Structures are given as C-alpha cells and as structure tokens.
Amino acid sequence: MNLSSLVGTVLARADQWRWTVMPPLVGVAMMAMIVGALVAAPREIVQGEVQRLMYIHVPSAVIMYAAFFVTAFSSVMLLWKRDMRWDAIARASATVGVFLCAMVLLSGAIWGKPTWGVYWSWDARLTSTLILFLIYTAYLLARSVAGPLDEQAARYAAVFAIIGVVDIPIIQMSVRWWRTLHPQPTVFTPDPALPNEMLLVLLIGFVAVFALAAWLIMLQSDTERASQRVTALRAEVDHREMA
Amino acid sequence: MGPVLTVLRKDLLLAWRNRSGWASAAAFATIAVLTYSFAFDLATGDVRPLLPGVLWTTFLFAGVFAAGQSFQDEVEDGTFDAMLVAPVPATAIFAGKLAANLIALLIIEFAQLLLATILFDVGLFTPELLGIVVIGTVGYVSLTTLLSTMGGHVRGRSVLLPVLVLPLLVPLLIGAVRATGAALGLESGTAPWMLLLGVFTLWSTLASVLLFPVAVER
C-alpha cells in the first residue's frame, strides 16, 4: 500500500468518527486537562499559580508545529497530485495552527508578566513564534483572496506554505543568536526535571490539545470541501442557465 | 545561458523603456532614507547607530515594491503567459528575471548608499559593506521575484506581497543589519552575521529556483 492511499484510508476512517468518537474524546480530554491543571497538579513553589498555564501553553506550542507540518505536507501533495482535497486539508490545518499560535502567544504573555515582569520581549522563541504567526496568517490571506476552486491560487499558497515551513529552522537559528530569556528545555530530556504529577498532567494536556486540533482540522477541512462543492455547483448552474 | 541572457536583456530593455516603475521605486527609497534621517535626527543626537536598520528596511521595502511594479506590466499585457509557452526551461526564465531585478535594485541601492553617506557622514563604500549589500540583495530578490511572478491573477497582489515576503525575510534582516553594523564598526565581528546572511541567501536562491517551475506550471 503506498503512502497516499494509506493516508487516504486513515483520513476516511477519521472522517467517519468526526461526529461519533471525536466529540466525547475531545470533551473528556479537555475536562481532564482543565481539572488536572487547576486542581490536581501541585502548586509550583517559585512561580505560584500562574505556572498552571504551562499545561495548555506547552502542548499548544508543540501541536501548533504539527499543524503547520500538516499544512506543508498537504501542500506538497497538492502540487504533486493536483487534487483540491489536499488544499482543503492544508487550509484547515493552517487555520488551526494559527489559532494555536495565537493561544501560545496569549498564554505566554499572561505567563510572562508575573514571571519575567513583562508581557512581551524580543526573546528568541517569542520572536520566532510571532514570525510563524505572521507567515501563516499571510498564507491564509493569500489563499482566501481567490475562490475555493482557484487551482492557481491554491498552488501559489502551497508554494508559499512550503517556503514558510523550510524557513522555520533558519528563523529559529537567526533569532537564537540573540540572548534568550526562555528556560532551557526541561521536558524533552532523557531525565525530565519535572515532578511526576506535573508530567502526567502535561501528558494529558498533550492528548487533549492534540485531539482538539485533530477534530478542528477534520471539521474545518469538511467546511472547505463543502465550499469547494458549492462553488462547483454554482458554476454548473450558471453554465446550464447560459445554455 | 542563451535564454537567460535573452530574458535578462528583454527585462532590462523594458525596464529602461518603461522607467516609471523603477523610477518610483528609486524615489520611494530616497524619500524613505530622507524621512528616516530627518525623523531620527529630531529624536536623537547620534543617528549613526540607526543607519544599518534604516538602510535595510529601505532596501527591503523598495525591493518588494519594485518587484510588484516590474511584474505588473507583464500581467496586464499577458506576456508572462506567452513567455512560459516558449520552449525553454522555466528555470532559465526565472534566472533571467532574477538577474534583471538584481541589477536594477543594486543601482537603486548604490544611489541610497551615496545619499546616506552624505546624510549620515559615514564612509559606506568599503569592499566589506558592498559585499554585504550584494549578498543580502541576492537573498531577498530571489524570494520577491518568485512570489511576485507567481501571484499574477491574485487580487490585491501589490498589498499582499509585502505581507507575504517580509516575515520570511526576518533572518536576512537580522543578518544584514548586524553585519552592516559590524562593518561600520558599531559592534565587533562581522563573521557570524556574514555566515547567517550567506546561509539565508543560499537557501532562498535554491528554494526559489527549485520551486519556480512547480509554481508556474499550468
């Protein structure tokens, strides 16, 4: 079985689940995350209650990257297969990625004020996250100025999305050469420095945000597909009326 | 090389015959440098540390503006579609357009360096600084050329182009501003920033050359 048919099968299966399995899964996971973050997780000694933002901030940041990679992958597939379904998926995951990126920037600002004393600083990670936000809102803007079935605009946006994703490591390298305020990685190391209870809640946070993002991408690409079909039908009606 | 030179000659000839596009980019760059110099002089006594930022923001805005302008006529006359039908590789067409834009922009930039030399009283025509300007310009022209040639039919393209290009160019802006600052003796060591500039330029040129044929395929 080749890659694209495998992806197609997985997507079709997930598509069947979008109103059965996904809503309760997302609901339960989000509830677990909220209860875990607000009640179950221990209070951090130095930073206090505001540290509880971590349970949404960190998963949102990681899943945001995943969403942008889905956009880039779908863009490659669009250029390769010339199938507009990939355009719908690319747009949907970019929309969800931009939403998560806004969440990350916002929760980061709220976290930063009591911890660093400022809402915003031109720190390396803040800067690169903001640039990502700008690139993918520009992508959505570039795609939305043309109709849902405009293949040339879709190809244009796809090329831009690919350039954007390849630019990410260079942006990160360039901004890292400034001094950074951000904590050094404490989670993705062989011996995590986080206590077990916190780690567990963080893990639940990952599952919850992942499920939410996946569900939103499904629903949004459904919507994009529907608007593609409406456009096609409208064109057909116009065509028949002319005849 | 044949098709590249033909496209280059055609674009330069058109740019010369229809000077208004490039002339307005040059005028825009001039007015930007003058305005910066004037506005910053009101706010601070020593404007020299601001010079690298002034130069590169002007270069980028003028470059994006000019790329949109230079392609406008091609879209309106439909000559770009005609050129793509020609039995030459799309890469050659891209290389020709890239070279034409590069030459026109370098002329504008050297004029701005001359103006800034007078306004800021700093010697800008050193080999090191000219090297930084040329490398940086190659780096951003490849991306602006790619993105301006692609969106021919997209509405509101001239407004969209800077919104698309400028976030992608942030690494170039960082590298170019810091390298220029170091070359002017405002900070020490051009080497790391030159490296960043070089890496970005290599990347953007390669990506543009590889993606252009895919992007314009009908």
Chain A residues whose beta carbon lies within 8 Å of the beta carbon of residue B217: 155
CB distance A98 to A140 below 8 Å: yes
pLDDT of residue A185: 58
On the 0-12 / 13-18 / 19+ scale of CB atoms within 10 A, A43 is exposed
Tell me if chain B has a CB within 8 Å of the CB of A159: yes
Share of chain B above pLDDT 70, in %: 96
Touching B: A residues 50-79, CB under 8 Å: 79
A194-230: per-residue pLDDT in tens? 788 888 999 999 999 999 999 999 999 999 999 999 9
A93 vs A45: CA distance, rounded Å: 37
Measure CB to CB from residue A163 to each of B151, B163, B168 and give the nearest one.
B168
Chain B residues whose beta carbon lies within 8 Å of the beta carbon of residue A170: 171, 199-200, 203
Q: Which of A143, A162, A160 has the alpha carbon at shortest distance from A69?
A: A162
Pure H helices in A117-195: 124-144, 151-176
B143 vs B168: CA distance, rounded Å: 9
Q: How many CB pairs under 8 A join A and B?
A: 75
pLDDT of residue A125: 82
Chain B residues whose beta carbon lies within 8 Å of the beta carbon of residue A138: 160, 163-164, 167
Distance from CA of B80 to the nearest CA of A (A): 15
A200 vs B69: CA distance, rounded Å: 56
A56 vs A75: CA distance, rounded Å: 28
Measure CB to CB from residue A153 to each of B147, B154, B199 and give the nearest one.
B154
Query: pLDDT-based confidence at B155, cuts 50/70/90?
Result: low
Chain A residues whose beta carbon lies within 8 Å of the beta carbon of residue B162: none
Query: pLDDT-based confidence at B196, cuts 50/70/90?
Result: confident
Tokens 């997780």, residue located:
A41
Residues of B with CB under 8 A from a CB of A: 143, 146-147, 150-151, 153-156, 160, 163-164, 166-168, 170-171, 174-175, 192, 196, 199-200, 203, 207, 211, 214-215, 217-218
User: If you average pLDDT over residues B185-195, what whole number do you get?
Assistant: 78
Could you tell me the CA-to-CA distances from A93 to A30, A198, B48 in Å, in that order? 20, 29, 45
Chain B residues whose beta carbon lies within 8 Å of the beta carbon of residue A168: none
Tell me if chain B has a CB within 8 Å of the CB of A179: no
Tokens 């930022």, residue located:
B53
The encoded tokens of residue A134 equal 């700008």
Query: pLDDT-based confidence at A184, cuts 50/70/90?
Result: low
pLDDT of A188 above 60: no
Query: pLDDT-based confidence at A100, cuts 50/70/90?
Result: very high
Measure CB to CB from residue B170 to each of A131, A141, A162 and give the nearest one.
A131
pLDDT of A42 above 90: no
pLDDT of residue A215: 93
Query: pLDDT-based confidence at B143, cuts 50/70/90?
Result: very high
pLDDT of residue A1: 54
- What is the pTM (predicted TM-score) of this model? 0.87
* β partners of residue A48: A44
A14 vs A215: CA distance, rounded Å: 9
